[in-house]
C-alpha cells in the first residue's frame, strides 16, 4: 500500500543526495541504450515485459530480460540492413504490444524514433512524416483496431521520404513484415551514445497547422526516466502497469523507460489498454493476477476503475498509484481511495518539451491537497508573476521549469516563439509554489474563462459538479457571448449505470459555486465525454460544441423558419465557425455571427433552406 509520510518536501540534505544520485546514474548511462542495459543486465532471467493479449489472458506473452536485450540487438541489426542509421528517422504508428516496445527502444537507441498519435488522420500522419523526413514507418496489420494500416496505404505518395512501410504483429510475436526476429548478442558499432544526439521526435500541439515537433536528446530522455524512477522508488522486482500509450511521454519516459532502466517488469494490458472496456472491467483482477506494485491512470481512468468492485481481488501488492495528464479532481481521487486503501493518489505534472515529469508526488513523501508534488531529481521550478521570477514560495503566475530534461527548441526553429524565459521553459500553466516548495497547478492559461474581464477558473465549477450524485466526469469551458465575451458552460457525463437529474444538478451547481459570474449559463449532459488518446478530457471539442450552440441560438432568432448548417472547428488560426445559409440570408448571418468573439466564415448555398 502507499506509504504514509508527514513530510511534504525533502530536507536540503535529502534533496542534495537525490540530485547527486541522479547525476551519478546519468554520468554512468548517458544514453538510452546504456540505461536500458543497466536494468536488463541485472538478471537476464527476470521478466522484462508481460503482454496481455486479452484482459483475462490465461497465458500472457512473457519476455525475459536477456531475451528483450537480444531482441533490441536483433531489431537494431534489422534496421541497419535497411540502411537506417543514427541520423535517420523511424516513424511508429502502433499501439502497445511486445513488437512495438522492442521497435520503439531499438529505434531510439540506434536511430531516431517518431512515435505518432494513433488518432492522427491520414493527412496529419503525412504532415508529421514529411516534417522530419522519416525513411521507414511501422504499423499493425490490416483490419486491426483503429484502422491504422488503412491510414498508411499509399502514404508514400504523400510522404516521398518514406522508403518502406513495415507491418508489426499485435499477437505478442516480434516480427517485421513476418520476418521473425531472433535474439542476438551482436552489438551495434555505430556511434549512438552521444548524450546530445537527438533520439526522439515527438509531435505536440495538436493536429492543425504546421506540425510542431519536439526533438529530445539522449540526455533529455534518460534524465526524465531517472527522475521518475527515483520519485516512485521503482526498483528491480517491481511490476508496473503501463496504461498510457508509448507515443505519450507518460507511457514512454515516466513508466516504461524507468522500468527498463532499473530491471522492473512492464505489464501491458492489451494493445488497446484503457480503451478496452474489458481491461477497465477487470482492472483489479489484473492487478491481482500480475501482482502489480506500481500503477498510474489519467483522472478519467481513475474514475472508471473506482466504479469497479474488487470482487475479492487481492491488491495488497499495489504500493504506489499516480495520475497525470491533468490535475485530478478531488472527488475522483476520493472515489478511487475508497477502493484502493493507499494514503493518496500521487500527481505527476509534466510536458512533452520536458521529456516527461517536471514535478511528481514522491512515494517517500506525503502530498498536500491540490499539490502536484515537488520537482523531480535534477529539475527546478519557478513561477513568473508580475514580471518577477519566484524560485521559492510565490503568488499565482506562469509555471516555468528547467533541468537536463528540457528540450532546446522545436524541430522547426521558427516555432520556438515564447517557449523560453531567461533559460527557463514556459509551461503556459498557471500555478504557484507552496511554503515547502511543493507546486500547485491552478489551470491552463488558455483554459481560463474570461467573462467580461472576470477570470474564472473552470476547476471551481467542475469540482462542485463532481460532488453531485451520478456525475462521472465534468468539464467547464467558455461559451462565446456577444456581451460578456464568453460565459461558462458545463458539460457532464454520467457514471456508468447512473443517470443525472439535470434540473437538480443545475440547482446544486448554482448553490455550490460562490461567485455569480462563475455559475454556468447552461449545463449539457453528454453520454460520453470527448477524450484524448491518453484519456484526458478534450476541451477543444467542447469549445466547438459551445460555439455551435451560441451561434445556433443567434441564427435561429434572426432567421426564423430558415434552415442552416453550423460547424465549429479548430484551425491554425484558432476556433472557426462555418455557417452554410441560403444566399438570401448571408448578410443577416454575417451580422449575427459578427457579434461573437469567434472567427467565422459564411458559405451561401441555394440548397439550404431554399427550394
Average pLDDT over residues 96-125: 94
Can you spell out the DSSP letters for 186-242? PPP-S----TTSEEEEEEES-SSSS-EEEEEEHHHHHHHHHHHHHHTT--TT-EEE-
Write 566-572 long-range contacts (CB < 8 A, 24+).
568/543, 568/544, 568/598, 569/544, 570/206, 570/208, 570/540, 570/543, 570/544, 571/208, 571/209, 571/599, 572/208, 572/209, 572/210
Q: For residue 605, what pLDDT is reported?
A: 84
Query: In a 10 Å sphere around its CB, with 0-12 CB exposed, 13-18 middle and 19+ buried, how is residue 514 labelled?
Result: exposed
- For the chain, give the mean pLDDT: 91
Average pLDDT over residues 287-292: 98
pLDDT exceeds cutoff 60 at 1: no
Q: Is 602 helix (H, G, I), strand (E, B) or coil?
A: strand
Average pLDDT over residues 71-87: 96
Q: For residue 488, what pLDDT is reported?
A: 95
Give the tens place of pLDDT for each residue, 213-270: 999 999 999 999 999 999 999 999 999 999 999 999 999 999 999 999 999 999 999 9
Lowest mean pLDDT: which of 363-372, 383-392, 500-509?
A: 363-372
240 bridge partner residues? 266, 294
Q: What percent of the chain has pLDDT over 70?
A: 95
**Cβ(407)–Cβ(385) below 8 Å:** no
Lowest mean pLDDT: which of 297-301, 337-341, 461-465, 468-472?
A: 297-301
Q: For residue 418, what pLDDT is reported?
A: 59
pLDDT exceeds cutoff 90 at 609: no
Write 54-58 long-range contacts (CB < 8 A, 24+).
54/270, 54/278, 55/269, 55/270, 55/276, 55/278, 55/279, 55/281, 55/282, 55/286, 56/278, 56/282, 56/285, 57/270
pLDDT exceeds cutoff 80 at 208: no
Q: For residue 189, what pLDDT is reported?
A: 66
Give the tens place of pLDDT for each residue, 415-449: 766 589 999 999 988 889 999 899 998 776 677 78
Give the tens place of pLDDT for each residue, 278-288: 999 999 999 99
Lowest mean pLDDT: which of 83-92, 182-191, 289-298, 510-519?
A: 182-191
Report the chain's terminal Cα–Cα distance, integer Å.
Answer: 69
Rounded CA-CA distance 526/476 in Å is 13
pLDDT exceeds cutoff 70 at 608: no
CA of 419: how far to CAs of 204, 214, 385, 423, in Å? 13, 12, 16, 10
What 8-state DSSP symbol labels residue 371?
B
- Mapping DSSP onto H, E and C, the string for 310-326 reads CCCCCCCCCCEEEECCC
Q: For residue 611, what pLDDT is reported?
A: 43
Domains assigned to the chain = 12-441 (3.40.50.12780), 448-534 (3.30.300.30), 541-604 (3.30.1340)
Lowest mean pLDDT: which of 23-32, 190-199, 528-537?
A: 528-537
Rounded CA-CA distance 268/413 in Å is 36
The runs of H, that is alpha helices, within 422-538 are 458-465, 502-512
Q: Grade residue 2 by pLDDT with cuts at 50, 70 and 90.
A: very low
Q: How far is CA 295 from the centre of its chain?
A: 15
CA of 80: how far to CAs of 28, 84, 110, 184, 187, in Å? 26, 5, 9, 14, 12
15 bridge partner residues? none
Q: What is the pTM of this model?
A: 0.81
Q: For residue 454, what pLDDT is reported?
A: 67
Q: For residue 447, what pLDDT is reported?
A: 78
Specify the pairing of strand 424-433 against strand 439-444.
antiparallel
Q: How far is CA 188 from the centre of its chain?
A: 32
Average pLDDT over residues 38-64: 97
**Cβ(564)–Cβ(579) below 8 Å:** yes
Number of H helices, E strands in the chain: 18, 31
Q: What percent of the chain has pLDDT over 90?
A: 73
Q: Grade residue 324 by pLDDT with cuts at 50, 70 and 90.
A: confident
Give the tens place of pLDDT for each residue, 491-544: 999 988 889 999 999 999 999 987 788 899 899 999 999 988 777 888 889 999
Amino acid at each position: 500500500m502507499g506509504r504514509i509520510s508527514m513530510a511534504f518536501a525533502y530536507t536540503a540534505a535529502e534533496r542534495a543526495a537525490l540530485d547527486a544520485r541522479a547525476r551519478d546514474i546519468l554520468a554512468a548511462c548517458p544514453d538510452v541504450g546504456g540505461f536500458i542495459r543497466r536494468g536488463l543486465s541485472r538478471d537476464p532471467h527476470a521478466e522484462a515485459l508481460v503482454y496481455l493479449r486479452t484482459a483475462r489472458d490465461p497465458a500472457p506473452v512473457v519476455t525475459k530480460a536477456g531475451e528483450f536485450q537480444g531482441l533490441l540487438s536483433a531489431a537494431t541489426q534489422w534496421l541497419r540492413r535497411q540502411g537506417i542509421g543514427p541520423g535517420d528517422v523511424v516513424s511508429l504508428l502502433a499501439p502497445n504490444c511486445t513488437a512495438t516496445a522492442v521497435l520503439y527502444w531499438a529505434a531510439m537507441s540506434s536511430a531516431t524514433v517518431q512515435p505518432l498519435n494513433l488518432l492522427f488522420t491520414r493527412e496529419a500522419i503525412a504532415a508529421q512524416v514529411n516534417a522530419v523526413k522519416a525513411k521507414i514507418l511501422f504499423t499493425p496489420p490490416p483490419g486491426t483496431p483503429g484502422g491504422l494500416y488503412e491510414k498508411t496505404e499509399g502514404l508514400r505518395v504523400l510522404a516521398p521520404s518514406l522508403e518502406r512501410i513495415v507491418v508489426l504483429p499485435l499477437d505478442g510475436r516480434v516480427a517485421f513484415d513476418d520476418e521473425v526476429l531472433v535474439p542476438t548478442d551482436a552489438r551495434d558499432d555505430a556511434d549512438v551514445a552521444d548524450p546530445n544526439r537527438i533520439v526522439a521526435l515527438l509531435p505536440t500541439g495538436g493536429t492543425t497547422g504546421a506540425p510542431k515537433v519536439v526533438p529530445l536528446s539522449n540526455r533529455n530522455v534518460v534524465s526524465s526516466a531517472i527522475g521518475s524512477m527515483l520519485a516512485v522508488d521503482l526498483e528491480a522486482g517491481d511490476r508496473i502497469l503501463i496504461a498510457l500509450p508509448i507515443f505519450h511521454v507518460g507511457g514512454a519516459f515516466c513508466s516504461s523507460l524507468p522500468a527498463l532502466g532499473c530491471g522492473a517488469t512492464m505489464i501491458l494490458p492489451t494493445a488497446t489498454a484503457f480503451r478496452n472496456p474489458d481491461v477497465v472491467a477487470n482492472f483489479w483482477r489484473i492487478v491481482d493476477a500480475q501482482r502489480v506494485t506500481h500503477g498510474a491512470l489519467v483522472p478519467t481512468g481513475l474514475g472508471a476503475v473506482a466504479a469497479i468492485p474488487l470482487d475479492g481481488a487481492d491488491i495488497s501488492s499495489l504500493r504506489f498509484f499516480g495520475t497525470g495528464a491533468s490535475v485530478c479532481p478531488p472527488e475522483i481521487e476520493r472515489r478511487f481511495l475508497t477502493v484502493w486503501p493507499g494514503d493518496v493518489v500521487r500527481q505527476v505534472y509534466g510536458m512533452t518539451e520536458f521529456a516527461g515529469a517536471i514535478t511528481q508526488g514522491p512515494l517517500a513523501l506525503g502530498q498536500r491537497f491540490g499539490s502536484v508534488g515537488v520537482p523531480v531529481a535534477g529539475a527546478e521550478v519557478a513561477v513568473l508573476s508580475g514580471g518577477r521570477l519566484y524560485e521559492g514560495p510565490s503568488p499565482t503566475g506562469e509555471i516555468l521549469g528547467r533541468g537536463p530534461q528540457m528540450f532546446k527548441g522545436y524541430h522547426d526553429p521558427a516555432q520556438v516563439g515564447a517557449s523560453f524565459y531567461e533559460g527557463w521553459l514556459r509551461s503556459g500553466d498557471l500555478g504557484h509554489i507552496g511554503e515547502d516548495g511543493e507546486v500547485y497547478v491552478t489551470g491552463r492559461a488558455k483554459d481560463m474563462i474570461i467573462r467580461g474581464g472576470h477570470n474564472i477558473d473552470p476547476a471551481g465549477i467542475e469540482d462542485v459538479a463532481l460532488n453531485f450524485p451520478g456525475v462521472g466526469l465534468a468539464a467547464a469551458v467558455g461559451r462565446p457571448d456577444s456581451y460578456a465575451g464568453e460565459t461558462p458552460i458545463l458539460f457532464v457525463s454520467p457514471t456508468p449505470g447512473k443517470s443525472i437529474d439535470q434540473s437538480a444538478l443545475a440547482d446544486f451547481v448554482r448553490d455550490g459555486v460562490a461567485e455569480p459570474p462563475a455559475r454556468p449559463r447552461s449545463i449539457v449532459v453528454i453520454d460520453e465525454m470527448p477524450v484524448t488518446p491518453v484519456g484526458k478530457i478534450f476541451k477543444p471539442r467542447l469549445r466547438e460544441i459551445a460555439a455551435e450552440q451560441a451561434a445556433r441560438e443567434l441564427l435561429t432568432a434572426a432567421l426564423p423558419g430558415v434552415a442552416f448548417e453550423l460547424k465549429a472547428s479548430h484551425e491554425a488560426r484558432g476556433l472557426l465557425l462555418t455557417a452554410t445559409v441560403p444566399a438570401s440570408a448571408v448578410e443577416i448571418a454575417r451580422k449575427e455571427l459578427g457579434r461573437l468573439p469567434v472567427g467565422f466564415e459564411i458559405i451561401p448555398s441555394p440548397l439550404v433552406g431554399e427550394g
